[in-house]
Each structure stands twice: as C-alpha cells, then as structure tokens.
Amino acid sequence: MNTVNVKINNREYAVPANSTVLEAARYAGIDIPTLCYLKDINEIGACRLCLVEVKGARGLVTACVYPVNEGMEIFTNTPKIRNARKMNLELVLSAHKKKCLTCIRSTTCELQSLCNEYGVDEDFFKGRTNHYDLDTSTPYIVRDNEKCILCRRCVAACKNMQGIGVIGANDRGFDTHIASAFEKSLDETSCIGCGQCIVACPVGALYEKDDTAKVLEALADPTKHVVICTAPSVRATIGECFDYAPGTDVEGKMVSAIKALGFEGVYDMNLTADLTIMEEATEFLERMKEGKNLPLITSCSPGWIKYCEHYFPEFTDNLSTCKSPQQMFGAMFKTYYAEKMGIDPKDIFFVSAIPCTAKKFEVTRDHQSAAGVPDVDVAITTRELARMIKQAGIEFRTLEDGKFDNPFDIGSGAGAIFGATGGVMEAALRTAAEVIEGKKLEKLDFDDVRGTQGIKRATYKLGGKEIRVAVASGTANAKRLLESVKNGEKVDFIEIMACPGGCVNGGGQPTQPAVVRNNVNLRELRAKVLYTADKNMDVRKSHENSAVKKIYDEYFGHPGSHKAHEVLHTSYVKRGL
C-alpha cells in the first residue's frame, strides 16, 4: 500500500495515498462528523459538518472531498472548527421542523446527536420556513420535506446505488427541496419501494408507513385469530434496535418478545422459504426441459419485481411465477391450515415481520388472495416490530429464549440463507442438483454465489449438463446483468434482490448512523448470522423439511401441482415507465 506522511492534530501518521482528509483521519482513529457523506454513494461536501483546517489552505475545507498529500498538516478540533460546525448545525435547524419528541427517529437521528454534541441553540436563527404536505401516496413510504436537511443521501441512494433516480432536488436557493419530477407524488413515479432512501436518511424526513396500529387493533379483537411469521433476516438484525452489536442472532428473544405481544401463533418464514424452493426448483427443471422462458429469474424480492415490471417489462415472462415466502405463508395458512383447523379465513389476521418496505406494496398486489381474502393482512418492518416491543414495555434483553410454534416451526438451513444475496440461488441449487443427479450432494455449500459482491456468476455441471447461474443485488447491478443478457450473455438461472446485499440490508432494517455504515460491513455481519444458522442445522435442504413434505402429502400433492399453482403462484404486470 502506497502511503503519504501527514500530521493530524500535531501527530504524525502514514496514511494511504489518494485518501481524502476524512478517510485519513479515520485511518488514524479520529472521527470527523458528517451528515451528507455516505461512502461510495454520496461524497459531495454539502452539509459542511466535516470542516477542518489544513495548513496553507484558504479557510476551512471539507474533509470528505479534500485529498491528502505528502507533508500535509491537518487540524480537526480547533475552536474555529467547532464554532463553524455549531453555526452550520444552527443554520440547518433554522429550516427544520423541530418536532423531536414525536419524531420517529428521535434518539436515532444523526442531526439530533450532533446538535447535542455541539450544544447548539435550536432557535439561534429564526425566519421564514417552507411548508410541504406529507407525501403518503404509497403503501410503504412517508416523505416529510419539512424535516429534510437537503443532505441528498436519499437522492444518491436512489440514483447512484439503485440506478433509479425518481427523486432529486427541485427549485433553487431557499426553495430547494427533494421531490420527484414535476412535483409528482411517489405513487405516480416508477419508485420500487425498496426503502434504501429511508435507511440512508439521517433524520426523520423519510420513514415507512406505520401499520402497527392495525396489528394492535387485531390483537385486541377477540374474533380474530392473529398470527405472525418472521423473515429469516429479522432475527439477524432486530437486536440492533435493542443495543446488540450488528451480527448478533437474537432469534430466541425475538420469538419470546412477539409471544409476549399476544399473537396466537409465532411462526418461522424459513418454512415457506423451503416451500418456495420446492416450487421454484421444480419450475426451473421444467423450463430447462422445455427450453422455454429462460433464464428463470427468482421472484422473492417485491422491490425487484416492481423494478422489472417498470424497467425491464420484456423479462416479466422470465420471472418465476412463485409467490414470495411471505405471501406463500399467508396463502398456505388461510387455505391448508384454515381447512385443517376449521377456521374461516376471514377470521384470520395474518402478519409478517419483514426486512423490506416493498413487502407493504406486495400485500396489495392482485392475485395475492388464494382464499378469497388477502394472503397477508399486514407486513411490518423490523423497525416497526421493535417499536411494538418497546411500546409494550417488554424488556427484550432480559427475555428467555423462546421457540417458534408448531406446526410451522421447522425450517431448513436452505430457508435460513434466503436473507442473504445468493441464498435463494444456493437453496434452489441444493434441491435441483439432487433431483438432477439422483443422489445426495457431497458438498452443500455453493461458495461461488456467496458474498456481498454486486454481481456473481458461476457454472455448475449437473446431470452432464452445464447450468449457468448469476446473482445480482441492488437494482443498479440488476440493470447491468440484464443488459448483458439482452446483449447475448447465456444464463439459465438468475437470482436478483432489490437491496444491495439482499434482505439483510433491506429498507425496513434498523437504521444505523453514517459512521457505522461507512466503517462497518453490515451486510457481511448480518449475513454471517444466517450462514452460521444454516451450518448448525440438522436439515439443510428444502426437500428434506418434514413439515414441507407433510403439507404436500396432505394438501398440494406434489410441487408444481394444479392446486399448488392456484395457491402458491401469481402473475405480473408489464408497467413500463
């Protein structure tokens, strides 16, 4: 590694060449505050919180975009710097809706934390403020521009990371605000609901539409049979809402907390992840045999599905017709289990706890009502579930570990890894490979499709035939992969997740400040929980899940059956732009 010698606060350091002052300082163990900066996503020097002094420079400079050079002398914490940062924070507050006590981001707001640190006077600058209506047009996101600080992190996440760009800066000067083109509401755009703008936002200007009141109302209704299933990645992330370190598996405490809320059944979505694999692997083998509508593209990520419908409608025929594990669980519960237990599906209130804001849109889609009522009544994010637990006064950290309820407590390791990019592909390959080869695999880990890279490719020889697979996470990467396929790249099976890194990095996951997002590999730490769970499970293949076998024996008959298609499969729309 090439280095340069610099002085930071009168101490000498050798730091990587081509670093910015911000990167050099962090390499030296010195934190410089930021608001607008997100590593590799938004590096624009707009918020002016990272101001530092550089000997010989004219005035203060922004550390996030100022490059280091040999012999540079840098000061990060002088009275001049602190006063400038304090004034900039007070200027930000002068146009900010200061409703901190009732804000959804109170105590997790980066602006709030910095104001406390620098002892700002929130009313130091007074004057005219702009007023905007809340944008509540979608089922998944609320936009409150009166809390926006114009950091543009949401804009960068949407455009630079996801390659979509449905929001940007409108007007100029004091009237500048973040909105869609022509002031359209979000539901009038090709927004896919991934929620990456929410987890990028440092304040409360963007948040998921809160559906917890609907759940609490159902729980209080004695005529309702209220049950919940939790997605694989929630157990790997919800602990962060209760001050656990990222990458902590809190499955047992999560289950106990949910039971304490009063749900009649608490189930593991790993089960229907396995059910999805049974249907999807069967579908893949049928398409391979027929040579039709290849490559098969996975359908578990509703943000990706909406992206495909808007941006690549020509690929909708390639999408697997399988519902997502969330929708399969609701559909299976309100048909098979309702019949088995003699419960009217209308009396069932089915909730899913998920890492994804787009799932809120998915529950409203057509052809998601196998029993004549919605498969899933409400989808709540990891953050919403954590808020419900806190509001109920449940002491999460003191709980004993609980277990999921029968009869849907069995999930395989293949189902567990669904929450990480490449997990759906690996789970499908474990089943498809054994069906094609007609024997048990000696090695279950498909390492080539693991990892947090944006695009991964691999070729496997199964049954004497080469199977070409590809995995993409983040819709900007999905675009690159699909353009390559359009240009002639030969692929048989594709997994796409809308969020970079997969569900572990979903738009409904716990927010983390930029200092964590910039310096900690959250995707890797969270995914490790799922791969560890898989490794430690007795059953690691979907087709060996005894609960799934029982569901087929008692109700669906076999994967891909007529009844399975009626209940577990869906259709898509060519939306276009």
Q: Are 125 and 159 within 8 A, CB to CB?
A: no
3-state secondary structure 12-46: EEEEECCCEHHHHHHHCCCCCCCCCCECCCECCCC
Tokens 């005529």 belong to 223
**CATH 3.10.20.740 applies to domain 3-77:** yes
Q: φ and ψ at 224, to 5 degrees? A: -100, 140
Q: How confident is the model over 434-443, as pLDDT tens digits?
A: 888 888 988 8
Contact call for residues 275 and 568 (beta carbons, < 8 A): yes
As a whole number of angstroms, the distance between CA 547 and CA 524 comes to 30
How many residues does this entry show for the chain?
577
Is the separation of the CB atoms in 112 and 212 below 8 Å? no
pLDDT (tens digit per residue) in 51-68: 999 999 989 999 999 999
Tell me the pLDDT of the chain (577 aa) as tens digits.
Answer: 799 999 999 999 999 999 999 999 999 999 999 999 999 999 999 999 999 999 999 899 999 999 999 999 999 999 999 999 999 999 999 999 999 999 999 999 999 999 999 999 988 998 889 999 999 999 999 999 999 999 999 999 999 999 999 999 999 999 999 999 999 999 999 999 999 999 999 999 999 999 999 999 999 999 999 999 999 999 999 999 999 999 999 999 999 999 999 999 999 999 999 999 999 999 999 999 998 899 999 999 999 999 999 999 999 999 999 999 999 999 999 999 999 999 999 999 999 999 999 999 999 999 999 999 999 999 999 999 999 999 999 999 999 999 999 988 888 999 999 999 999 999 999 998 888 888 898 889 999 999 999 999 999 988 888 999 999 999 999 999 999 999 999 999 999 999 999 999 999 999 999 999 999 999 999 999 999 999 999 999 999 999 999 999 999 999 999 999 999 999 999 997 7
pLDDT of residue 435: 87
Q: So what's the pLDDT on residue 98?
A: 93
Q: 93 Cβ partners below 8 Å, 6+ apart?
A: 111, 115, 120, 122, 124, 125
Class of domain 127-208: alpha beta
End-to-end CA distance of the chain: 46
Q: Mark residue 5 as left, alpha or beta (left: phi above 0; alpha: psi -120 to 50; beta: remaining).
A: beta
213-568 folds as Rossmann fold (3.40.50)
Separation between Cα atoms, residue 368 and residue 485, nearest integer Å: 30
Distance CA 55, CA 241 (A): 42
Where are the chain's structural domains? 3-77, 127-208, 213-568
Residue 174, pLDDT score = 92
Report DSSP state, residue 317: G
Q: How far is CA 511 from CA 157, 237, 317, in A?
A: 14, 10, 35
Q: Regarding beta strands 348-354 and 73-75, do their DSSP bridges make them parallel or antiparallel, or are they unpaired?
A: unpaired
Q: β-pairing, 493-497 with 465-473?
A: parallel
Q: Is the dihedral of CA 178, 184, 187, 192 positive or negative?
A: negative
Rounded Cα distance between 13 and 5, Å, is 6
Token output for 274: 């396995």
What does DSSP assign to residue 357? S
Q: 397, 353, 421: which is closest to 250 by C-alpha? A: 397
Query: Which one, of 57, 56, 51, lies nearest residue 22 by Cα?
Result: 51
Classify 380 as helix, strand or coil. strand
In the block, tokens 């990458």 appear at 247
Q: Using an 8 Å Cβ cutoff, are 444 and 541 in contact?
A: yes
- Predicted TM-score (pTM) of this structure: 0.95
